Amino acid sequence: MRNRCVYLAVALAFYAFALWQMCAPAEAIPIFAQRYHLQCEACHSVLPELNAFGREFRAHGYQLAAPKHGTTIAAIRYQLEYEISPASGNKRFEQGGVILGNADIGKISTFVHYNLGADGGPGGLYLGYLATYNQHTRSLYRAGLFELPLAQSPGQRLDDLQQYGYYGTHVGLNDLALSAPRWGFQLERTAGAVTGDLTISSGEFKGSAYGGKPVSTGETTWANAPEVGLFLRAPAAAGVDVGAEFLAGQRWIVPAARAGFADTYHREGLLLRAQDRKLELQAEQWWGNDLNADGFGTLLGSSGGYARLKFYPTPHFYVGMRYDAQATPFLTRDMVYYGAWMFTPHTRLILQQVQNIGGTGHFGAAITVAAPWPPNL
């Protein structure tokens, strides 16, 4: 009863303050705000989520054909998360932080996401790559440690506190999830209204975006052959985009006290995104097959996806709900209800309720702060 009263009080405060903040101005993280004299509404909806222009800016290697100003090359993002009823083994308060860095060397842009460690986990490089954009061919090139070009960023631009289910799925003894950044090369090219990505990778980051304590799986794995990915996105009608995704590779897996073996795998996905004024619908479905998921020749299928509906009363405040399901092969399903807004020009507050269908639920909140805070431009 006490937890319900706390939840209700916090929720009422959330919506009351959101109404008061609806017209509050906001700024971008200072790396690009200072360099290009941008305001938040140019690139961000609710920190760190990107709007359409922000996604285009990132797709152009974080470079604009405009004069550059300022010398800021690094920013800090800190997040404090609170759970009223944490799951067994989890803490009520969890914190994490990252250093985001960017510098231009001619037409080459460098980008770094370094986590500072959290909850007993080590700090380490999460993303680190070189990028350049060819305006003539409308092509982006990335090399280094990068995220797959998924519909929803799994580690950098999260719109809530709950990882999108299938993105983090392990299949059998194959621990390579879609959410893991890859070491390799990415080519993105736009032809007409169609955008395509090719990724080739030979390794991956193991761990958490915010440096959470590693969880031992009892086996050692690495890429036994390069993983190849293809991602396509195109408009189907006014305000409606569709996409298709494909990944294939082979893992070498060494379980504890057993001989190593190769697991050949592939993943396929379909994407739908539709927007009408202040409403946004996004849905994605993945299917996968591992030809030797346990070292005994077992063919193991997997599937999962989500359907998400968001409403934006203003560009810097949204409420959303998401249905999330995954089967590997056992099925788990969640409903996620959440809201977020720009608490201050550099601060985001999220409230979220996760309800496992057929199981328990938990309520949590998090504050995300970006610094330093430059003066208004």
Domains annotated for the chain, with CATH where assigned, are 2-371 (2.40.160.10)
Confidence of residue 280 (pLDDT cuts 50, 70, 90): very high
Average pLDDT, the chain: 84
Given the structure tokens 């396929």, which residue do they identify? 268
CA distances from 344 to 34, 38, 222, 326 (A): 18, 17, 43, 36
Predicted confidence band of residue 344 (pLDDT cuts 50, 70, 90): confident
Q: Is the pLDDT of residue 27 over 90?
A: no
What token pair was written down for 37?
């004299």
Q: Which of 154-163, 283-292, 331-340, 348-357 has the lowest mean pLDDT?
A: 154-163
> How confident is the model at residue 51, as a pLDDT?
78
**pLDDT band with cut points at 50, 70 and 90 for residue 89:** low
Confidence of residue 178 (pLDDT cuts 50, 70, 90): very high
Spatial separation of the C-alpha atoms in residues 131 and 106, rounded to whole Å = 11
Strand duo 182-191 + 139-146: pairing: antiparallel
pLDDT of 171 higher than 90: yes
Per-residue pLDDT tens over the stretch 204-247 = 998 777 766 666 777 899 999 999 999 999 999 999 999 999 99
Instruction: Look at residue 24 in the predicted model and tell me its pLDDT.
Output: 37
Q: What is the pLDDT of residue 36?
A: 77
Give the model's confidence band at 87: pLDDT under 50 very low, under 70 low, under 90 confident, else very high. low
CA dihedral 200, 202, 208, 213 (to 10 degrees): 170
